[in-house]
Amino acid sequence: MDNKIFEIFIPGPEGRLEAKYYKSKKNTSPIALILHPHPQYGGTMNNKVVVDAFNVFMENFFSVCRVNFRGVGKSDGEFDNGQGELADAAAALDWLEKENFDNSQCWICGFSFGSLISMQLLMRRPEINRFIAISPQPNVYDFSFLSPCPSSGLMIYGKKDELVPVEHINELNKRLSAQKGIKVDFEAVNDANHFFSKADVALKKILDKYIKKESALY
């Protein structure tokens, strides 16, 4: 398949947002937006986990976009403690939907800080059918806004995550599994740290399996 990835600029609330975009050849293909880790700790759309997730979506015939938040790379603006980043993500999703108005499904995926922003976006955009949160940090960010969570999804975390004690993940799991009508899967990767440094193969397998299973429903 012709994996032509375009470098693009998306109009954002603070100017332009730098992004990478792959357009599926398949009509009515699903779409996915991928959000990167914390900009103040070196997070960009070229983070390895973000790129791995992008590639797995691409291989599953999604039209997929990863974007640099304001102030990162060639994106205009400066870091805004999450509020502005949420507006950036919304603008990127607007753009992706316009480009793929006949999409069959809309997914959001985020890594670390990006998982917080993706969950916040999920609460505001009813068209999002599925989400994947990689290394969420419920010990740092309050995820109680996910009650009720509007869509089924997947949370992936490393058992050796040095930034997130596992009891916080278990607590989040308990809260989300009590909700009716949706299913949020929690997948632990045994040897993975927060950044999945030596566990990228395991991560890609989990992503691929979940994406195949859930996108086949449409």
Q: What is the CATH number of the domain that holds 21?
A: 3.40.50.1820
pLDDT number for residue 103:
97
Q: What is the pLDDT of residues 159-172, one digit of tens each?
A: 999 999 999 999 99
- Contacts (Cβ under 8 Å, ≥6 apart) of 175: 144, 146, 147
pLDDT number for residue 217:
77
Binning pLDDT at 50, 70 and 90, where does residue 71 land?
very high
Q: What is the pLDDT of residues 142-161, one digit of tens each?
A: 999 998 999 999 999 999 99
Instruction: Domain of residue 166: give its range.
Output: 5-215
| Percent share of the chain, pLDDT over 70 | 99
- For the cut 70, the answer to whether the pLDDT of residue 34 exceeds it is yes
pLDDT number for residue 2:
62
Distance CA 216, CA 202 (A): 21
Distance CA 210, CA 218 (A): 14
How many structural domains is the chain composed of? 1
pLDDT number for residue 147:
84
Distance CA 68, CA 88 (A): 9
Q: What is the pLDDT of residues 46-68, one digit of tens each?
A: 999 999 999 999 999 999 999 99
